[in-house]
Amino acid sequence: MSPASGHGRTLQAVIFDWAGTLVDFGSLAPTQIFVDAFRSFGIELSLAQARGPMGLSKWQHIRLLLDDPALALQWRQRTGHAPTDADVDAIYAHFMPMQIAKVGQYSQPIEGAAQVLAWLRGQGLKIGSCSGYPRQVLDVLLPMAADQGIRADHVVAGDELQAGGRPGPYMALANMLALKIDDVAGCIKVDDTVPGIEEGIRAGMWSVGVTLSGNEVGLTRAELDALPATEVARLKEQAQHRLRAAGAHYVIDSVANLPEVVAHVRARLAIGERP
């Protein structure tokens, strides 16, 4: 960490991911739909495989899955040819209405999320957000989340920037522009996936990884509560390792733990540190 030339920088905004970070404990909505969509093409995809590229835009996610040698072999055996971009288009076209139909079932806020958003606003901070979800899916999710106290000042969807999505910095930076933030170091990016952490790092922001509520652990609250404490600790440690390896400055169990990170980042900014 190198000191900035000037002191007294301030925190201005927090930019959140959606599934697994603010809503949908375990990031289940996208995962199960990938499995269902691939099965409709005769391809068997495990939940663990489906989670691999999570955080990317959904088209890119499907492309990366089809690039996996085992899945590419299945595809070749089913169709007689290697998977093409046209095949990705076909799966995506099948995936989209399934995702739109199902996203509402998984729109419940993560415990503490509404309270943390209210607290951040009380601190004078702006709330940005971005998602691997396309805009059509967010159009269904956002009103449901808002009814539960989960709303952002700006939302960028995974399919609406010409420059692309994660792991590039573009969605995070688009939030900066929209919210009129004048310094990337004045932003915290919160995400539960490796590409989402890389997005924040590439944007020059403080990046916070989320473990227990997110894709890296990938369990419902009930599934997690049913596990012995030693197994929860093991899963959490694995997730922490992957998120820190991606560059996360901080790693927390869930969004409910964010206020202590905010205080820490503010103190570091005040003495001239940058991410």
- Percent of the chain beyond pLDDT 70? 97
Is domain 29-105 in CATH 1.10.150.240, yes or no? yes
3-state helix, strand, coil in the chain (%, to 5): 50, 10, 35
Q: Which amino acid is at 247?
A: G
Pairwise CA distance, residues 239 & 63, whole Å: 24
More confident call, 101 vs 256: 256
CA–CA gap between residue 177 and residue 275 (Å, rounded): 19
**Beta carbons within 8 Å of 240's beta carbon, 6+ residues apart:** 209, 211, 251
Tokens standing for residue 273 = 């540190």
pLDDT tens for each residue of 76-109? 999 999 999 999 999 999 999 999 998 988 889 9
Half-sphere exposure of 28 (CA within 13 A, CB side): 18
Positions of CATH 3.40.50.1000 in the chain: 13-28+107-270
Q: Which of 17, 24, 191, 192 is catalytic?
A: 17
Residue 63's φ and ψ, nearest 5 degrees, are: -60, -45
Annotation says 58 is catalytic: yes
CA-based torsion, 113, 51, 237, 226: positive or negative: positive
Q: Give pLDDT tens digits for 96-147.
A: 999 999 898 888 999 999 999 999 999 999 999 999 999 999 999 999 999 9
180 carries an active-site annotation: no
Portions of the chain given CATH number 1.10.150.240 = 29-105
Residue 172 burial class via C-beta count within 10 angstroms: exposed 0-12, middle 13-18, buried 19 and up: buried
Q: Which residue out of 58, 102, 126, 189 is catalytically annotated?
A: 58
Residue 219 in tokens: 């369990």
Is the pLDDT assigned to residue 4 strictly greater than 50? no
> Architecture of 13-28+107-270 per CATH?
3-Layer(aba) Sandwich (3.40)
The values of phi and psi at residue 54, to 5°, are: -55, 140
* Distance (Å, whole) CA 8 – CA 185: 12
pLDDT at 54: 87
